[in-house]
Amino acid sequence: MSTPTTATLLPSSGTLLDEHDVLLLDLDGVVYVGADAVPHAPAALRRAVEAGHRLGFITNNASRPPETVAAHLRDLTVPAADEDVVNSAQAAADHLALRFPAGSPILLVGTTGLRVALEQVGLRPTEDRHEAVAVVQGFSPDLGWRQLAEATHAVRSGLPWVATNLDATVPTPGGPAPGNGLLVDLVARAAGRAPDVVCGKPERALFDAAVQRLGAERAVVVGDRLDTDLQGARTAGLRGLLVLTGVTGVRELLAAQPHERPTYVGQDLRSLEDAHPEVVVELADGTATASCRRARVSAGPSGLDVRAEETGPDGLDVLRAATAAVWGVRDAGTPWGAEVVTAAVTVVEGALRTSA
């Protein structure tokens, strides 16, 4: 006998633009990668603005000030005002400004964006750990050994330590590269302790600030990372759209834990203009079977069985069904070994290539 269950991926009654008033967008891997726009992203965002939606850009990247980010977006023909950009450097600076009086020297381990954020709240960036009252660390592609060593000495001395974010990687045109989280981890391992505070995603501070700034009533978070964008959406009580233009691929999506799962999945930002289909899951005898329109996937201890008469208008119905089936069987406690996951990824990626 089968038992119906609720898929984590949810349907939309209309398009995502119909159902939401504000789009809270990650940048790297969603809108652009490096200097270049993600294909279709600028046009999709222009159409959203023309339809009356507001855009907020929330990023963990603390290397550039909001004005520079907004100018980059405008160069890519994305509608963006300076105040639409909210980053983790601002959140870190705000946190420190609440704790220390104006003019306090803060050891800066980062670059221009973090320096500007500190100065805007009245704090004084310094490179001298002997005068600093706290340490703040954000991503910089030019961060070197001497800066990391200075940070380590300051942290070991007991100074409060704030990290803008813990992203393990950043997207680049050549693929993922080391991010701030790995650099923070170097200091943590050398100093023997973790940061006292992390201000970026998946913490909800950035999302709350963006919702308040934009006056959002029905915001949707759009991101490419499960552990920051989508986990942050859940933390903030918002729905989240995962786009497959950045870090997260099929393997990562199938392995997603409940606290980081998206509400919707799309190829790219054009999926904001789609009505997302219902996915129905049934559990029976240790196997989960999920149906998404005319795609049907069963997942169990022996692997995946995929039957797809059609892959859907955007080619993702097999992925949606497989995702829901794998999540369902794993959540039910059915053994799901690494070799089965690998086989599942192969099957789903093959179906996606066939539908492309």
b/e per residue, 153-191, with b = 16+ CB within 10 A? bbbeeebbbbbbbbbbbbbeeeeeeebbbebbbbbbeeb
26: annotated active-site residue? yes
How far is it, in rounded angstroms, from Cα 288 to Cα 157? 53
d(CA 223, CA 24): 9
Residue 28 a catalytic site member: yes
Rounded to whole angstroms, the Cα distance separating 220 from 83 reads: 19
Catalytic residue among 21, 26, 142, 268: 26
- Which residue in 28, 227, 229, 317 is the catalytic one? 28
The CB density around residue 285, as the number of other CB atoms within 10 Å, is 8
Q: Are strands 197-198 and 161-163 parallel, antiparallel or unpaired?
A: parallel
Residue position matching structure tokens 């190829």: 267
Please enumerate in sequence order all residues whose Cβ is within 8 A of that of 343, keeping only pairs 6 or more positions apart, or say none: 303, 304
Q: Is 108 within 8 Å of 135 (Cβ atoms)?
A: no
Q: Which residues are catalytic?
A: 26, 28
